[in-house]
Structure 1
Amino acid sequence: MPQDPTSPPLAGRKREALANDRNVLVAAREVFSLHGPEATVAQVAERAGVGVGSIYRRYSTKSALVRALHVAAIDELAQIARECAEGIDAGESTTSGAVETFLRRHILESFGPLIISSGEHPPATPEVDAASAALHAALEQVLATDRAAGLVPDALTPADLMLLITHLRPPLPLPREQADALHLRYLGMVLAGLAQAAASASSAPSATDTAASDAAGLTTGPSWEDWLALWTSRATGTTAGG
């Protein structure tokens, strides 16, 4: 889990505990990706190089471990998104927009695919909701930066970005370097399409953003509530484009 950059440095023991916790979460993500919902805590412990008891002292059940894994992934994505938007807003040298930088960093830096084969969706708890709200705000900042630069169409939503990353980085039975190369290949295709949609929408002779997006072949994407309903165990009456 990423540490808040505004927080004071952690003491040695706390820093070690945080590193151990991340190691367990990385191992859990890899194990669930490989073995699906039948994966066991013992398999996670073996991959992490720790005792089963040490995991149960931190997470009372396998479900608790899975919930922590979901929240850690969202926290990490939010931090990456903030850094991408703030870096470009501050004029950091880059040939890419915030969306491209965010998606590329997710592929190369995050500790695993967002959606794991755990057989569970995270419940709508206050912790999950707080993490989701922070991510939503960060993704809005990323999109606002690129919309202002004409790099992405207005129809692209934060929920679109979340669904994109689940498609761009599925677990593959390949070494990380080879898998990353494939993920980046398909990211390039997606970015080319977004750039074309943005250019078409900006030149479309329309008085409304919706009509311009339709002219570019891209209608408004799903809402954040739609994404939450897909990602967590909750229901919503909203639909994509609504």
Structure 2
Amino acid sequence: MGLGDILSKSISYPFSDLTKFLIVGLIFVISDMDGIFYGLFGPNSFMAIIGIIIAIVFSVILSGYSIDVIKRGIDNSNEIPDFDFANNFVDGIKVLIIGLVYFIIPIIITLVLLFMFGAIGAGLDKMAGSLGIWAVFAVIIFIIFGIFAIIAEARFAISRSIGDALSIGEVFADVKRIGILNIILFLIVVSILLIVLGLILSVVTIIPVIGIVIVDLILGGFSMLFVNYGIGLLYSE
């Protein structure tokens, strides 16, 4: 399956079950309760704190749900999974652990690079020159480990084992099998499509509060299903 086919199937996937699409979008709205409650009740209100708690819990649930969507893509199934809030929450915590491990490594590497290039503890003139070199390396490292994290989540979707997701050697083998250029191209095209959709929907945000709800419902639900299903299809290749 070529990249065009993967993108085509991924775009149509959210519309294979409009009811579930809207349910995913609704969960996305709930996960944005911090912003909604902030707008309704102000930043220092008790309800704003409640909104933050709700947003965190449902964001974790969505992280776990994304794994079910990736698995559907790997299985080449057009079915949109149902929410299983308890299992989704547990999987979401595991996804956070996987992401933490993969992004701690580039953070440590970039800090080491800062010392190597003399950006830390140097004068302003030397720091300015060093930061340019450091930034290039940092961006490359974060992109590489970001790709590793995505493939790690696909491995986790299959086995539900954190150990499989953190097996960097196996993850590297999967990246090599799929092709890092294919992965990068997929991510670029997906990002462009979502940016365009976001710009189109941004017109709705002029409506106070309701505009945010509508954007979360449509863009949030679509991006969750579209991106993760595409990752699953890409991994299955």
The TM-score bracket by the shorter chain reads: under 0.3
Higher helix share: 2
- Structure with larger RCO (C-alpha < 8 A, sep 6+): 2
TM-score normalised by L of structure 2: 0.27
TM-score normalised by L of structure 1: 0.27
